[in-house]
Structure 1
Amino acid sequence: MSTPTSTDLVVGARPDHLISPHGVLDLRGSAGRDVWLSYPFDAAVVVCGLPGSGKSTLLRAWAASATVVDPRVTRTSFEARMPAWLPYASYRPWARLRHMHWLRGELRRGGPLLIHDCGSRSWMRGWLARTARRAGRPLHMVVLDVGAPEALSGQQARRRLASRRVFALHRRGLARFLRQVERGGQAQVPGISSVVVFDRGQRDRITAVRFGSRPS
C-alpha cells in the first residue's frame, strides 16, 4: 500500500488509505477512500478547529490510540470546586495555567499524545512547538476547516455555545493561520512537522489514527 507524504503545500490531493503527513497537506475538496493518518510513536498531534467543528468527536474516536489532553477536563475540574455563582472568566487564567502545566507534563512524558486546541492563537502554537522541541518529540497539526455555519450548528447540537465575541476571535485567528499556511507552506509553521487540513466533506472520512511502535 502506498504511503503518500507531503513536503510542502499540496492542494486538493487525493488521499490513499494511509497517509504519513509531512509538511502541509491540504485535503479540502478531496474525494475518495477513508483516511488513516500515521505518525511516529512519540508524536504529539494537535487537533484544531472552531468551537463546534467536531474536534471532540474526532478525539473520542481516536482516544484508544493515545493519551488525550482536553482543556475541558481542566475547566470542569475547576468549575466543580468553585461556587456556582462565580463566573468562569474570573478564574480562567488559573485554569489555563493548570492546563498548560498538564500539557507540559504529558509532552515530557513521551508516547503518543493527542491535544485538543482551537489552533487560532499564534502564541499557543508557538508555546506548543517550543515545549515539544524541548521534550524531543515531533509536533503535528490536524485542522478541521468546516466553516462557521457548520461549527455553529455543532455548538447547538452539543448545547455548548461559545459567545459571539469568543467565536469571532477564534474564527479570525484560524482564518489568519490558514491564509499564512496557504501562502507560505511549512515556513509559516516553524517547529511543526506537519499540518493536515480537512474540510466538512473529509471530516467524517478521517476514520483512524495510528502511531508507530515504541522504539526498542
Structure 2
Amino acid sequence: MSRLKAGNPAEKQRYEKILSAIHRVMADPIHPQFRKDLPQNYKAADVLGQYRLFFRIVPAAQATDVKADVVHFVWVNDEESIHRSGEPGDCYQVFLDKVLRGEIDEYTPDPLPQNERFRLHDDWGSSFVYVSFRRTIDGEEQHADSHLKLNQIASGSYLIDYVTVSKENIGLASSLLARLGESVDSHGIKLTYELESNDRNFGKVRHLLEKFHFELDDIIESVEIWIRRADRKRIG
C-alpha cells in the first residue's frame, strides 16, 4: 500500500480505489457481492476489475479485544497476479496458494482494549492520510467510530477530504479533531477544510472548525475555505 501511495498516477489511483473498496466492505461486509468460493470463509472485493481485496469476518467470540465482529483485511494482489479467470497467476489462485502455505496472517486481538483509540494509519508526508477514532460505549457492549481522510496538497499541508461518524451527537467528530490537532501541531502540519454553504450540517461544522482553531481564510462562490495552522504552543 505504501508503494502505491508514493507511486505513479496509475498506482495512486489504485490506492484510492483500494480505500474505496475498504469503505464499501465496512459499510456492508456481508453483502452478496463479496461472497466467493474461497476456503475459511474468505471474501473478496473488486478493485478496478483486475485486483481483489481479500478479507474475512472474524466473529466477536474470536475477536476478544472487541465486542463486535471484526473485518480483517488480509491481502490485495498486485500487477504480477491480476485477475485473469482460469489462467495461471490469477489472483484467486495465488491467494489460495498463500492460504494453503500458511502465508496469510490470522487476526491478532489487541492485548489491552481501551475506551478510546485514535489511530493515524499513514505517515505525515504521504499523499493520503487516513485517520480513525473508536470509542467504547455502553460498558464495552458497543463501539462508535469516526473516520477522516486527508489529501496532501503541498508539503506539510493537507486538505480534509471527508469526515464520517457512525453515531451522531456523542462528540465523535470533536474527539477525532482534538486528537488530530495534537498530531498536526507536533508535526507542523497545516489543514484546509472546504465548507459548502449547502452542507446540511453547516452550522455544526462551522462551530467545530472554530472550536479546533480553524480560521476562515477565503470564500469562493458558495464555499468557505478554512485553514488550521500548526502551533506548537497548543501541545500539552
TM-score bin (small chain):
under 0.3
Structure 1 or 2: more helix by fraction: 1
Structure 1 or 2: more strand by fraction: 2
Rg: which structure is higher?
2
TM-score calculated relative to the size of structure 2 = 0.24
TM-score calculated relative to the size of structure 1 = 0.25
